[in-house]
Homo-oligomer: A and B are copies of this chain.
Amino acid sequence: MNYRFFPNFTKEELAKIQLEGLKWTVNHAYQGSAQYQKKLKKSGIHPNDIKSLEDLQYLPFTTVEDLREGYPLPLLSVPEEEVVRIHASSGTTGKRKVLAYTQKDIDTWKIMLARCFELAGLSPLDRIQIAVGYGLWTAGAGFQLGCEYFGAMAVPIGPGNLDMQLQLLVDFQTTCLCSTASMALLLAEQVKKHQLQSKIALKKAIFGAEPHTPKMRKYIEETLNLEDTFDIPGMTEVYGPGTGLECSAHQGIHYWADLFILEILDPNTLKPVQPGEVGEMVITTLCKEAVPLIRYRTRDLTRFIPGECSCGLNLPRHDHILGRSDDMFIFRGVNIYPGQIATILEQFPELSSEYQIYLNRKQGLDFMTIKVEAQEGTTIPDNLATAVEKNIKTKILVSSKVEIVPPLSLPRSFGKTKRLIDERDN
């Protein structure tokens, strides 16, 4: 296949690009940012010490605390007049994380997104409805930028506003939706309710910002009659959405290894996990000017996917983001990620993909209630809740109470759906 936006290098060529990028990045950060220089000096590394990719392991980690410390322009490594834009993440705790961009950073980002649209099999005749936040958030700006550079037609709406979303889906015969899976679910439910299936032309959807289950995706694909859907990873710290994309083979996410180096580390030992094992994504950028990242601890959990992809694309792969180390909760001494619960619920065809986990404390003891919606049009067997509880007990080794609630009864969201409600400190 002939791609317009994809590089095609041998492993040796890629390694050479990565080494050059790593040397440039460490030197650039050291020269440009007092905060980075201090950090590197403290760990005893000088940019000239970087001789091979193996030397990556000696570099200090960068964390979210480093981004908060230098607020409002942390780790800035270029003179301020070269910054043309900032974006920020929502910052649920303390001040928000603000990231800066040079014009070159924006140009790199637009290539990343153009690759995504190409990998999703779109063409300049596609019409892409962008149903994610603009302004301070990276999502809208990123999709818009990439869409225009790719040459498709951007239909920029932003999140929410279901009536307008539906109207433009119909009026513009939009072919591709970019949104959270939660938002797409909401839209699918509305399309079904208003019987608009035959009036829309959606073929593809690209989902970002939150982990979603295969069941959720299947419901959206069937209800909206989609040809294919794609998972897009990304984070404000590394430009925004589009650090890679799932290809149509659906065997993991190809990521742009010419633009950043990905390590998967054990979050406790900070050493590489065994091949194929789950760990924390740690990212080192290779050409980011305004705010380069050196071994940035993303807190996102994933694993490398070994071997060649059947799609033929010569770029390494990681798995879907399986959760965030932040999302982990400790329940009666057991470490649990919401995604583990989701994976179990997934196996019961009578249940929908919508669930919420409630944690409570009574007389010093923790209790977990899992509310999950019944699949529409399904009869729920009497013993189903008990069967799910048993399954959770067997696989995660904890007791829980499962409540099967009516379809559409849990709250919907335009953005990331809140899966965990922890009321133990109340």
The reply to whether the CB of A136 lies closer than 8 angstroms to some CB of chain B is yes
B81 near A156: Cβ-Cβ < 8 Å: no
Question: Which residues of chain B are near A151, meaning CB under 8 Å?
Answer: 81, 84, 103
Question: Which residues of chain B are near A398, meaning CB under 8 Å?
Answer: none
Question: What's the dominant secondary structure at chain A's contact region?
Answer: mixed
Question: Which residues of chain B are near A404, meaning CB under 8 Å?
Answer: none
The reply to whether the CB of A16 lies closer than 8 angstroms to some CB of chain B is no
The reply to whether the CB of A214 lies closer than 8 angstroms to some CB of chain B is no
A156 near B80: Cβ-Cβ < 8 Å: no
The reply to whether the CB of A140 lies closer than 8 angstroms to some CB of chain B is yes
The reply to whether the CB of A47 lies closer than 8 angstroms to some CB of chain B is no
Minimum CB distance partner of A123 in chain B: B81
Report how far A309 CA is from B184 CA in the complex, Å: 54
Copies in the complex: 2
Report how far A172 CA is from B81 CA in the complex, Å: 14
Count, chain A residues at interface, CB 8 A = 37
A158 near B135: Cβ-Cβ < 8 Å: yes
Q: Are A148 and B103 CB-contacts (below 8 A) given A86-B154, A135-B134, A141-B156?
A: yes
Question: Which residues of chain B are near A70, meaning CB under 8 Å?
Answer: none
A85 near B171: Cβ-Cβ < 8 Å: no
**In the assembled complex, how far is the CB of residue A136 from the closest CB belonging to chain B, in whole angstroms?**
6
Contact of A86 among B81, B100, B153, B158 (CB under 8 A): B153
Residues of A121-155 at the interface with B, using a CB-CB cut-off of 8 Å, are: 123-125, 130, 134-136, 140-141, 144, 147-148, 151-155
